[in-house]
Structure 1
Amino acid sequence: MTHSSKWGWRGALVAVGALLALGTSPGVSAATPELKGKFEVLKDEKSTHQPGKVKLIEFADFYCPHCHRFDSEGVALLKKEFGDKIEVTMVGFPVFQGKLPTPFDMYEQARTMGKGDEMKKVLFRTIHTEKVTGVLDRSLREVLIKEVGLDPKAFEEGMSSGKPAKALEESKKWGERIKVQQTPTVLIDGNIKVEQIDPDNLKLVIHSILDADKKK
């Protein structure tokens, strides 16, 4: 069963139990010799790599404190290190049982309206900094929707359409297909899964991908 990992950006605290559950050694490297770091190449997934750029998908749960920390600290460090050579997108992957899916639906709706990143930050802040972990009722949603610069009426119509919930179901199926065991888990260029979410390892993997491009 999926669970939250103990992610430590600076402390590099790694939950190796999930790696062992996958039958993968924490020190495994890809078959591609020029790539470095600790990761797993998913043979059944297609690479989406474009030379000179890395696309990073973060499977995350809005209720996960480690996901919040990765989003607030880790993503900023990666963008500072790689600039426009990295593109980061979050994919909702609920792992905490008994929690309402409202934040995930709000994020998906905001993405369709071009404000996904803004809504993601607001939701993480609301849940983890302001400690609003109960129901995100319509009045509270309206405040958050306006904060990110969206029209509440159009937003709520989108929420009621069922499309955000459907998008979340697709994200869950994606995560289950690639056997996401903990959050946050990172998928690079469609087929490189990284569970050791610490700065040195992620930078090593990404640098090696970009360095390999230069040799081609």
Structure 2
Amino acid sequence: MNLANNHENSIQANGYSVYPHDIKTNFMSIIGHCQVKGNVTAKELINKGTTSANDCFVETVENIGNLSINRLQGEKIVTSGHLKCKGNVSAELFQSKGAVNIQGSLHANTIYIKITSTSNVDIVTSKGDITIKKSRTAFLNLLPTRLRTKRLKGEKIVIEHVEASEVVGDIIDVGPNCIIEKLYYKTKCDIHSKAKVLSKHQIR
């Protein structure tokens, strides 16, 4: 077991590592199991293992393992593993191909999600584009695979396999296997024949 210091320029966490306090670093790479009992502040974080932490303030995040945190704030977040967050996630770019479970809100200027298994995000908002589609690998799963959210709001929205209480946007394309309770659009709205939208309203 490695007991790491709380401030280093570069951290390579291999095997089983424990960080008992907050850590600040330029670069952090994790292979194995890593537990951070405080917050993480870094320019770049690459997680290839199983990592847990409190709040993370990281410019660039690449997650291809299991990342479980309280809150995540960054500029570019790319995850192809499992991301679990108890609070909010915010970024300029959020890109995911895997499982996402965010109990708070997800906010980014650009959001692109490919669903491989059932995911949950309390609220999804963007000042720009939101794209949520089902990954090809997920079609091998016979069980229903959707992203569930209470509210999804953006400018240009392209979604499929999404279950939402409310969707709000300028241009909205609702693809197959979506279940939407309320939809509000400003300019244009297309709904796939295999989607279910209970109510649709144009914003004047």
TM-score by length of 1: 0.26
Higher relative strand content: 2
Which structure is larger by alpha-carbon Rg, 1 or 2? 2
RCO higher in structure (CA 8 A, sep ≥6)? 1
TM-score (norm 2): 0.27
Larger proportion of helix: 1
